[in-house]
Amino acid sequence: MAVDFSRIPRQRLPELLRAMPKAELHLHIEGTLEPELIFALAKKNGVALAYPSVDALRAAYAFTDLQSFLDIYYAGASVLLHESDFEAMAMAYFERAAADHVVHAEVFFDPQTHAARGVSIGTVIRGLAAARARARRELGLRSELILCFLRHLSEDEAIATLEAALPYGEHFIGVGLDSSERGNPPEKFARVFARAGALGLHRVAHAGEEGPPSYIEAALDVLHAERIDHGVRCVESPALVARLAREGVALTVCPLSNLKLRVFDKLADHNLADLLRAGIKATINSDDPAYFGGYVNDNFIATFEALPQLGAADAYALAKNSFDASFVDAAARAAMTARLDAEFARFA
């Protein structure tokens, strides 16, 4: 594209970051459950919460690592019982995403979290599918669903989950791997990812958030992951950085998540700019925005504020990478890119 990025003054960057169309590729729908909705659903469904108020719950969002977050995240999800609860949660996210000019979202969901409370996978998927249809109709927002396996559980449980999901196969395009990373390497899920691949599903995996670079390599080589979620610890292996750049593997980076879960001490220490300079297709995403202090635009604004080496050309690259790394067809990708070009032309 022939935009002269130097014509976009630095002070207009926040406005540009907010307005530019973007895809969100790393978003756990259960991580969009705001405390107010948790309390409303708890009351409606008669679920007891360990916190007396919205403020007390929010005050508990002081995490020391991934596990300390996951404990609260799974407790929050316990209020979701009915199809309409999943629809309400997802619709609230889609409204916020549309306001951030997200034009396409590939949304993770964790069916095993809900099955543990007796909520069937059909209830989860039907509720999310209803919200997707409404978002498309009412907001013009496209979305897809990606079914994630909880890596702290066994591979047999993941296989049973995939088989139980197959009657709803039209509603999800891929599988992912999330939850406690350390001690649960990708190799543990080789068979279920092979089965997903044989079914024609896309494959992604969290790796290199807290886990070592070898987990990223195993996600690529053993699970055949097409994208790596997080992946920021790749920088500990120069050979892996070179490989990710050479093979065009996208990383779905989540800066505010990394900050809240202490992957980096401060945002100024984040390696996003280094990843981009190394030629890696990095993207910016929100992970669990209700828990980490911001949706995708908050992530963009905070990251560009903390890393002054990022400029308008990087903003363009990050949005373009999000379209290129998405699982949409070529026509949809071209349409989203044209909208991006038009927005940049307006600013330049």
Catalytic residues: 209
| Whether 123 contacts 114, CB under 8 Å | yes
31 binds, among Zn ion, ligand ADE, none (CB under 5 to 8 A by kind): ligand ADE
The whole-angstrom separation of Cα 303 and Cα 72 is 25
Binding mask 127-146 for ligand ADE (x = CB under 6 A): --------------------
- Using CB positions, name the residue nearest to Zn ion: 287
Handedness of CA 79, 83, 86, 89 (dihedral sign): negative
66 binds, among ligand ADE, Zn ion, none (CB under 5 to 8 A by kind): ligand ADE
- Helix (H) / strand (E) element for 306: namely helix 296-306
Q: Which is nearer to Zn ion, 100 or 287 (CB)?
A: 287
Considering only residues 144 to 203 of the shown chain, the ones binding ligand ADE according to CB under 6 A are 178-179
Binding ligand ADE by CB under 6 A: which of 13, 23, 38, 66? 66
Class of residue 197 by CB neighbours under 10 A (exposed 0-12, middle 13-18, buried 19+): middle
Q: Which is nearer to ligand ADE, 112 or 347 (CB)?
A: 112
Q: Which is nearer to ligand ADE, 17 or 66 (CB)?
A: 66
109 binds, among ligand ADE, Zn ion, none (CB under 5 to 8 A by kind): none
Binding ligand ADE by CB under 6 A: which of 288, 310, 319, 323? 288
Class of residue 126 by CB neighbours under 10 A (exposed 0-12, middle 13-18, buried 19+): middle
Binding ligand ADE by CB under 6 A: which of 78, 257, 283, 321? 257
Distance in Å, CB of 342 to Zn ion, minimum? 31
252 contacts ligand ADE (rule: CB under 6 A): no
φ, ψ of residue 310 in degrees (nearest 5): -85, 135
97 binds, among ligand ADE, Zn ion, none (CB under 5 to 8 A by kind): none
Binding mask 256-295 for Zn ion (x = CB under 5 A): -------------------------------x--------
The residues with which 102 forms a beta bridge, in sequence order, are 22
Q: Count interface residues toward ligand ADE (CB under 6 A).
A: 11
| Whether 37 contacts 54, CB under 8 Å | no
Distances (CA, A) of 64 to 150, 227, 322: 20, 26, 29
The whole-angstrom separation of Cα 52 and Cα 50 is 7
Distance in Å, CB of 258 to Zn ion, minimum? 10
Closest CA to 232 of 207, 261, 268: 207
Distance in Å, CB of 341 to Zn ion, minimum? 30
Closest CA to 217 of 198, 201, 233, 202: 233
Closest CA to 322 of 17, 78, 58: 17
Distance in Å, CB of 346 to ligand ADE, minimum? 34
- Using CB positions, name the residue nearest to ligand ADE: 178
Q: Which amino acid is at 345?
A: A
| Whether 292 contacts 284, CB under 8 Å | no
* Residue indicated by tokens 């088989």: 163
Binding mask 203-222 for ligand ADE (x = CB under 6 A): ---x--x-------------
- Residues at the site binding Zn ion, with contacts judged by CB under 5 A: 287
- Residues at the site binding ligand ADE, with contacts judged by CB under 6 A: 28, 31, 66, 73, 178-179, 206, 209, 257, 287-288
